[in-house]
A and B are shown apart, each in its own frame.
Chain A
Amino acid sequence: MEPSQPRTGSASKDRAREAAELVEMGEFYFINQKLGEAIKVLKKAISLDPKSAKAHYNLGIVYEAKNLKEEAKTMFEKTLQLDPGFPGAQQHLDRLIGIGEK
């Protein structure tokens, strides 16, 4: 019997699943231009799954759409730390720093 190990793994999986659902919700809010709501759920997703590159990327996009450049930069940097190949993150970061295409 292995009581503690599976339970911890399962709890962590639940958190990751819940975070993924919140990211989806964040994307939905973003598409419907509810940026404030998108920020709330994406922040919650990150608190549940701090290793989710997708949650960080999405929050970066929402911050950038809201013209919060510094916050967006931090999110894209974090996305690339978690997943250096995350599509689009490097281009957004370059653009915010001023070395990419406008």
Chain B
Amino acid sequence: MARQFAVIGLGRFGYHVAQTLTQHRCEVMAIDNDEEKIQSVADLVTHAVQLDATDEKALRAIGVQDVDAAIVSIGENIEASILIVMTLKEMGVREIIAKAVTPIHGKILRNLGVSRVVFPEREVAIRLANGLVAPSILEYLDISPDYSIVEIPATERLVGKPLTEGRFQSQYGATVIAIRRKVPYITEAGESEFSEEMRISPSPDEAIEEGDIFVLLGPKKRLEQLQTS
């Protein structure tokens, strides 16, 4: 059975959450009190419902208490966001993920017992800045206060050599969890193109190819050394 989600608040963040969950074949109940926003997702999600999400009766009537998780993506109206989270908690929704716009908003949501608080702008800003100070790092993702996942391109020096030559373990304490590799082909129209193949848990003997991107998991402090090396 497909996982069921309720997305409450259909601003840009909520819209994209609903869209992506639907693309992953999840059942999505999209809720907002703005008719126009409901119309914009009506053809996209399983159910699009216009209602006041602080109204517990209305939420119960559409079965929000039974979803696997509810995503509260109301940031600007902090009062509404808090009221909705409280209502969902009272209804016994198993997992609540809520968007926060300020640290105090996040703190209140955490104290209310939400499973996860997200600060979309802050998270994107940190990733962008990390990318800017370390141009060799293509992607940067903190997975805990101490550990990160980074993506770095293979240098010319490593091409044709086995993965162990990268010395990621000995130098940075990092593990190569995957290699993103380009696979060239010619399209039906006769043009050059490439697809990307993900080689998960590559063998230490795997020969490195031109254009490879290493996905490394390791201690944040040691991976930061990649920025200056």
**A31 and B192 alpha carbons, distance in the complex (Å):** 8
Which residues 74-91 of A have a CB within 8 angstroms of B? 87-88
- Whether the pair A67, B189 counts as a contact (CB closer than 8 A) is no
Q: Mark B210-229, 1 if CB is under 8 A from A, else 0.
A: 11010000000000000000
Q: How far is the CB of A39 from chain B (nearest CB, A)?
A: 11
| A61 proximity list for chain B (CB < 8 A) | 192-194
Q: Chain A interface: which of B41-49, B79-87, B180-188?
A: B180-188
**A21 and B201 alpha carbons, distance in the complex (Å):** 40
| A57 proximity list for chain B (CB < 8 A) | 191-192
Q: Mark B13-52, 1 if CB is under 8 A from A, else 0.
A: 0000000000000000000000000000000000000000
Q: Tell me if A65 is interfacial: C-beta within 8 Å of chain B.
A: yes
Q: Tell me if B153 is interfacial: C-beta within 8 Å of chain A.
A: yes
| Count: A-B pairs, CB below 8 Å | 42
| B186 proximity list for chain A (CB < 8 A) | 27, 31
Q: How far is the CB of A57 from chain B (nearest CB, A)?
A: 7
**A64 and B182 alpha carbons, distance in the complex (Å):** 10
Q: How far is the CB of A22 from chain B (nearest CB, A)?
A: 14
Q: Tell me if B68 is interfacial: C-beta within 8 Å of chain A.
A: no
Chain B positions within 8 Å of A, measured between CB atoms, are: 138, 153, 182, 184-187, 189, 191-194, 209-211, 213
User: What are 29 A-B pairs with beta-carbon distances under 8 A?
Assistant: A27-B192, A30-B184, A30-B192, A31-B184, A31-B185, A31-B192, A33-B184, A33-B209, A33-B210, A35-B211, A36-B210, A54-B191, A57-B191, A58-B192, A61-B192, A61-B193, A62-B192, A65-B184, A65-B210, A66-B210, A66-B211, A67-B138, A67-B211, A67-B213, A87-B189, A87-B191, A88-B187, A88-B191, A88-B193
